[in-house]
Each structure stands twice: as structure tokens, then as C-alpha cells.
């Protein structure tokens, strides 16, 4: 039985594409599609497999991005959300800002995942100019999803493993909010055997969504979380509910992945759970 769709919702996802190794667009496309939403990909680069593997093919797509989406402008496309992931250069960040200027309407969710580092370390490819540009992009986010390391980089607050209590998280979130970000979700906070997501809303309220910490760190986990989050927000979930559903989905995917003894660099075996997301179809319709 086919759905009759008068207008299906759409999310533009700006990220790189890896043919193998579950991350970025290879995660976003199936997850957003399973939720009943059209995923419109803007590739920033094409890789044979992600850079967590020893050897890989890489093709930078920066020079083609503006020409690519200029054809969408001629089609008068609009999007219910624009979600950005890893951006490899200052120039790509400027291109994303141009994309937002061209395609974001008053009701478009701008979701920025500022991929900059992890475990207290900034990625080696990021320059100070790159960080400044990402701060500018983060200020445009309706929903900003940094991990704790990235939140510290964006605010200039020194990172340490103990900066995970409510007063410190509030201080960081308030700085991000005062810089322009509206809602903030600080993800992947490790605390007392749990992985926590700290939610700071534009009205100053906050909450914490926690899940048990199981297994090892795996590539693309944040991409899975963000793709589900973007889908649920577009389907009309409140922010807390969207974070809870994203966290639950990631936890279920980790459990299955651990059971299958999948190598960490291969990411999460989320494909086995996509049916759980199909309930979003009705919310994806106007």
C-alpha cells in the first residue's frame, strides 16, 4: 500500500560521502528516508571509506558545491531543515552559509553539528581561522549539537574531564546561546557509567537525557544520533523527545553492533533497526 503524499518534507544534508564505513551521508540518507522524509544530499567530498581506516580514496567536492545547488535554486526548492556535518575548510563553511541564505525559510530548522574534535583534542586539520568560521556558523543554528570537546572549543573554555557537572554545562551552554545558537544539545558526555546529552533550550530551561555506556567508541555514532534528531524535529517532536528517541536508537544500534562483533571503524549496524523509524511517515507529511 502506497502513501498518498501531497507534500513530503525534505531535509538538505551537507556532509561528505563515504562508500564504506557508516558515517556522514551514508548514515543520514537511509535514516532520514526511513523516517518518511526526503533526504537531499549536498556532498562536500567523496571517499572510498572514511579516514579512520589506514588507506582511503578522497575527492574534494568544494569547487562543485555551489554549481551543484544552484540547479536546486532554479527548481525553487525549499527545505524543512538544513543539517550540516563535517566541513573540511573555511571555504566550505562560507559555501554552507550561502546555502542557508538561499534556501532557509522562516520555518526551516538549521541544525549544525560542528565537527571539530573529541576526547579533549581538536582535529589536526582545523586551523584557528577554521574554528572562527565554525563559531560564526554555529551562531546561526536553531539546534547546535556539539560534543563536550567541541562545545569547549566554540566557547574558548579549557577542556577537562571533570567539566561535566550541571553548573559547568550551564555556563558553556549560556555562552553558546549568547553567541547566537538557539537550542543546544551537548552530546556524548561520559559520566558515572552513562552517556549523557545535556539539553539547553532557548528559554533558559535545561534537562539531561542519559543512557548506559556500553561497548567501545565507534565511528559515525554522532552522525546516527544527529540524523535521527533532525528527522524527529522535522516530524514535529519537541526537542527533549527528539533527543530521547535519538539516544534510544543509538543505544539499540550499539547493542546489536556489539552482539555482531563489528569492528569499531565500521560504525553502527543501524540498518537492522530502520523499521523503528518508519512511524515518522505521518509526521513527515503536511
pTM of the model: 0.94
Residues of the chain with pLDDT under 50: 1-6
- C-alpha pair distances (Å), 23 with each of 51, 183, 204, 279: 10, 24, 32, 23
What b/e string do you get for 87-99 counting C-beta neighbours within 10 Å, with b at 16 or more? bbbbebbebbeeb
**HSE (side-chain half, CA atoms, 13 Å) at 153:** 27
CA-based R_g, the chain, Å = 18
- C-alpha pair distances (Å), 238 with each of 11, 28, 141, 150: 17, 20, 16, 24
Domains of the chain: which residue ranges? Answer: 10-271
Is residue 230 within 8 Å of residue 32, measured between CB atoms?
A: yes
CATH of span 10-271: 3.40.1190.20
In this structure, what C-alpha cell is assigned to residue 178?
Answer: 549568547
* Phi, psi for residue 237 in degrees, rounded to 5: -65, 145
The per-residue pLDDT for range 20-61, each reduced to its tens digit, is: 999 999 999 999 999 999 999 999 999 999 999 999 999 999
- Among 283, 220, 231, which Cα is nearest to 253's? 220
* Phi, psi for residue 285 in degrees, rounded to 5: -110, 150
In this structure, what C-alpha cell is assigned to residue 198?
Answer: 545535556
Return the pLDDT at 183. 98
270, burial (CB in 10 Å: exposed 0-12, middle 13-18, buried 19+) = buried
DSSP state of 147: B
Return the pLDDT at 163. 87
The per-residue pLDDT for range 163-196, each reduced to its tens digit, is: 889 999 999 999 999 999 999 999 999 988 999 9
Amino acid at each position: 500500500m502506497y502513501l498518498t503524499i501531497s507534500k513530503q518534507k525534505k531535509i538538505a544534508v551537507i556532509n561528505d560521502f563515504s562508500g564504506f564505513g557508516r558515517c556522514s551521508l551514508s548514515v543520514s540518507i537511509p535514516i532520514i528516508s526511513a523516517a518518511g522524509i526526503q533526504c537531499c544530499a549536498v556532498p562536500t567530498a567523496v571517499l572510498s571509506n572514511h579516514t579512520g581506516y589506514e588507506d582511503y580514496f578522497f575527492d574534494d567536492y568544494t569547487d562543485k558545491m555551489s554549481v551543484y545547488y544552484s540547479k536546486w535554486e532554479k527548481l525553487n526548492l525549499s527545505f524543512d531543515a538544513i543539517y550540516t556535518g563535517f566541513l573540511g575548510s573555511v571555504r566550505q563553511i562560507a559555501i554552507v552559509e550561502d546555502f542557508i541564505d538561499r534556501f532557509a525559510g522562516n520555518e526551516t530548522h538549521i541544525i549544525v553539528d560542528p565537527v571539530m574534535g573529541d576526547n579533549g583534542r581538536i582535529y589536526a586539520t582545523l586551523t584557528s581561522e577554521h574554528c572562527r568560521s565554525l563559531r560564526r556558523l554555529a551562531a546561526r543554528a536553531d539546534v547546535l549539537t556539539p560534543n563536550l570537546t567541541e562545545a569547549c572549543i566554540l566557547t574558548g573554555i579549557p577542556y577537562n574531564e571533570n567539566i561535566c557537572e550541571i553548573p559547568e554545562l550551564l555556563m558553556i551552554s549560556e555562552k553558546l546561546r549568547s553567541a547566537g545558537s538557539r537550542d543546544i544539545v551537548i552530546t556524548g558526555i561520559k559520566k558515572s557509567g552513562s552517556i549523557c546529552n545535556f539539553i539547553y533550550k532557548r528559554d533558559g530551561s535545561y534537562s539531561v537525557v542519559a543512557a548506559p555506556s556500553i561497548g567501545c567508541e565507534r565511528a559515525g555514532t554522532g552522525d546516527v544520533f544527529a540524523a535521527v534528531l533532525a528527522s524527529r524535529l522535522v516530524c514535529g517532536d519537541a526537542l527533549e523527545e527528539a533527543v530521547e528517541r535519538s539516544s534510544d536508537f543509538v543505544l539499540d544500534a550499539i547493542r546489536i553492533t556489539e552482539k555482531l562483533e563489528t569492528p569499531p571503524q565500521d560504525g553502527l549496524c543501524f540498518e537492522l533497526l530502520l523499521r523503528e523509524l518508519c512511524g515518522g511517515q505521518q509526521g513527515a507529511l503536511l
